[in-house]
């Protein structure tokens, strides 16, 4: 059974933490999409002001009913940028710091000693980034899941618009003349969003992903530094390794009160099913 809905992307609310702001945010979503029965908001920190207001506000309840589709909270990792990159590296042991530097050096040696990180923020550099990132994507392990990066006129226009808005901040790592890793990123205010990454599997023996992250983070400390790097969705080992902290987060579903009875029934059934799955998992873990 399908019902019309809309997804509001985010994961880290950037609004002022005042109740009337979040209430108006919820109401304005339904005004913007009057033909939608529900609004899906992924990745809201469970200890955030946004979470508590949308749960507790009588004003929100007059317009919509709140559901939590998945009762298993996910961990959302981030890096808080302190005073310097050298200070950040102290979170690792002396041996781990040595290995990181060694991996970067070996990767450079594979490109005849030339390892360069290209930062892409301007529309004029978008074609260069998409060309390199799409080449890397075609040789990455993620390619089996489908194209991760596409170099097309439509994509170039989209990225050029991001650049024009001042939020584009992507990176391309090159070994000699050959691109070996990329990160698609965006910076809004004090937060850098680590959106998507990939590396050429031909360089896998040199840990290009780890090298890429270290060089990128060092650049964040020196150029237009944000206060935090947001890893966005996904619980991967490298995120746990490089993160300085995490928050528990969950998805929200706001179903408007004037939605049809079948919509509310379907959502209630799905919600009950999700609770039963979570309970079964907890029982299995106790055994």
CA atoms of 223 and 91, how far apart (whole Å): 22
Task: Report H helices in 116-203.
Answer: 126-138, 153-164
Whole-model pTM: value is 0.73
For range 38-43, the mean pLDDT: 76
For range 133-162, the mean pLDDT: 87
Model confidence pLDDT, tens digit, residues 229-274: 999 877 788 899 999 998 888 887 777 776 555 445 555 555 554 5
Q: How confident is the model at residue 223 (pLDDT cuts 50, 70, 90)?
A: very high
Distances (CA, A) of 13 to 42, 44, 274: 11, 8, 25
Distances (CA, A) of 265 to 2, 3, 67, 123, 281: 13, 12, 12, 48, 24
Closest CA to 43 of 14, 80, 82, 86: 14
Q: So what's the pLDDT on residue 284?
A: 44
Of all residues in the chain, the percent with pLDDT exceeding 90 is: 37
Q: So what's the pLDDT on residue 205?
A: 84
Distances (CA, A) of 231 to 43, 228, 241: 12, 10, 12
Model confidence pLDDT, tens digit, residues 48-104: 777 887 778 787 777 777 777 666 677 889 999 988 999 999 999 999 999 999 998
Q: How confident is the model at residue 112 (pLDDT cuts 50, 70, 90)?
A: low
Query: Would you call 115 helix, strand, or coil by DSSP?
Result: strand
For range 143-164, the mean pLDDT: 88
């Amino acid at each position: 059974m399908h019902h019309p809905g809309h997804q509001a992307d985010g994961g880290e609310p950037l609004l002022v933490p005042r109740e009337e702001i979040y209430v108006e945010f919820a109401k304005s979503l339904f005004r913007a999409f009057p033909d939608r029965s529900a609004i899906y908001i992924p990745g809201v920190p469970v200890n955030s002001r946004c979470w508590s207001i949308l749960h507790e506000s009588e004003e929100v309840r007059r317009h919509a009913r709140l559901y939590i589709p998945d009762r298993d909270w996910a961990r959302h990792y981030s890096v808080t940028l302190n005073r310097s990159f050298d200070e950040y590296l102290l979170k690792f042991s002396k041996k781990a710091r040595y290995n990181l530097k060694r991996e970067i050096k070996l990767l450079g040696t594979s490109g005849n000693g030339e390892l360069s990180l290209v930062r892409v923020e301007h529309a004029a550099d978008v074609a260069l980034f998409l060309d390199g990132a799409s080449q890397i994507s075609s040789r990455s392990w993620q390619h089996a899941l489908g194209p991760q990066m596409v170099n097309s006129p439509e994509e170039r226009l989209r990225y050029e618009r991001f650049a024009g808005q001042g939020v584009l901040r992507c990176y391309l790592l090159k070994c000699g003349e050959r691109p070996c890793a990329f990160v698609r990123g965006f910076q809004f205010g004090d937060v850098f969003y680590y959106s998507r990454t990939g590396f050429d599997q031909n360089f896998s023996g040199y840990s290009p992903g780890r090298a890429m992250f270290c060089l990128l983070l060092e650049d964040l400390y020196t150029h237009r530094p944000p206060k935090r790097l947001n890893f966005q969705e996904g619980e991967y080992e490298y995120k746990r390794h490089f993160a300085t902290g995490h928050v528990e987060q969950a998805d929200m579903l706001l179903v408007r009160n004037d939605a049809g009875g079948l919509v509310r029934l379907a959502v209630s059934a799905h919600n009950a099913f999700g609770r039963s799955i979570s309970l079964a998992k907890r029982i299995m873990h106790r055994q």
